[in-house]
């Protein structure tokens, strides 16, 4: 992360996709989808920067052009391809979460729920909506005489809470590969779907005029 001081307040700017959580990625996608509605590309770019900084747009409008150019140059990584990290375990709030590694082991009830989520989600909401079903709290299980951690049952009662937890804590580069993996598994199971999707933190501080 890079820290910018704007109007006497500090704002953190991600330096790559590995520092962008699902919630921010969703906002980036949503904003990108309405580019053709803008008559001013500068306004569009300024609003995108506000999303990345989590800053009020009015604060950015008070920047002089020189400062904004410096800031926008630090946002160019948004045009880069997302490189999946392919993590297979996450620690959130003291709990360990793991992805379901075999769709054929899902219950038929869960399979139907997943199919409905896929059918009812637009391409921007698809991944966030799928993940609470596909990444689950770990549970201990004996395998070949050894205790191992495996993905537990789908917690349908706490679906919305789990979704919000993932939006805030999972980075897009850590989970983007799961969408294509699970959709491929669904297609192999005769379910027709269509979908698309688009670290140690370094801290530096730059004072903006």
Name the band, by pLDDT with cuts 50, 70 and 90, for residue 188: very low
Q: What is the pLDDT of residue 206?
A: 59
DSSP state of 8: T
Q: What is the pLDDT of residue 7?
A: 80
**How far is CA 187 from its chain centroid?**
23
Q: Which run of H or E residues covers position 95?
A: strand 95-99
Q: What is the pLDDT of residue 162?
A: 94
pLDDT in tens, 56-94: 998 888 888 888 888 888 888 888 888 888 788 899 988
Close Cβ partners of 143 (under 8 Å, ≥ 6 residues apart): 150
Name the band, by pLDDT with cuts 50, 70 and 90, for residue 191: very low
Strand partners, 97: 90, 137
For residue 100, the SS3 value is coil
Mean pLDDT over residues 18-41, rounded?
A: 89
Name the band, by pLDDT with cuts 50, 70 and 90, for residue 183: low
- Check whether 101 has a pLDDT greater than 60: yes
- Check whether 129 has a pLDDT greater than 90: yes
Contact by Cβ (8 Å): 42, 61 = no
- Check whether 102 has a pLDDT greater than 80: no
């Amino acid at each position: 992360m890079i820290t910018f001081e704007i109007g006497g307040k500090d704002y953190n700017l991600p330096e790559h996709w590995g520092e962008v959580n699902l919630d921010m990625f969703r906002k980036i996608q949503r904003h990108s989808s309405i580019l053709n509605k803008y008559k001013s590309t500068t306004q569009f770019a300024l609003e995108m920067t506000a999303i990345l900084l989590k800053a009020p747009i009015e604060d950015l409008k008070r920047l002089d052009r020189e400062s904004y150019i410096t800031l926008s140059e630090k946002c160019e990584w948004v045009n880069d391809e997302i490189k999946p990290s392919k993590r297979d375990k996450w620690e959130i709030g003291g709990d360990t979460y793991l992805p379901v590694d075999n769709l054929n082991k899902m219950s038929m009830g869960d399979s139907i729920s997943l199919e409905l989520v896929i059918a009812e989600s637009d391409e921007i909401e698809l991944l966030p909506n799928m993940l609470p079903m596909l990444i689950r709290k770990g549970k201990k299980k004996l395998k070949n005489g050894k205790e191992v951690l495996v993905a537990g049952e789908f917690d349908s009662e706490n679906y919305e809470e789990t979704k919000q937890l993932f939006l805030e804590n999972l980075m897009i580069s850590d989970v983007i590969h799961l969408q294509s993996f699970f959709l491929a598994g669904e297609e192999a199971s005769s379910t027709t779907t269509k979908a698309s999707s688009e670290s140690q933190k370094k801290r530096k501080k730059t004072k903006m005029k």
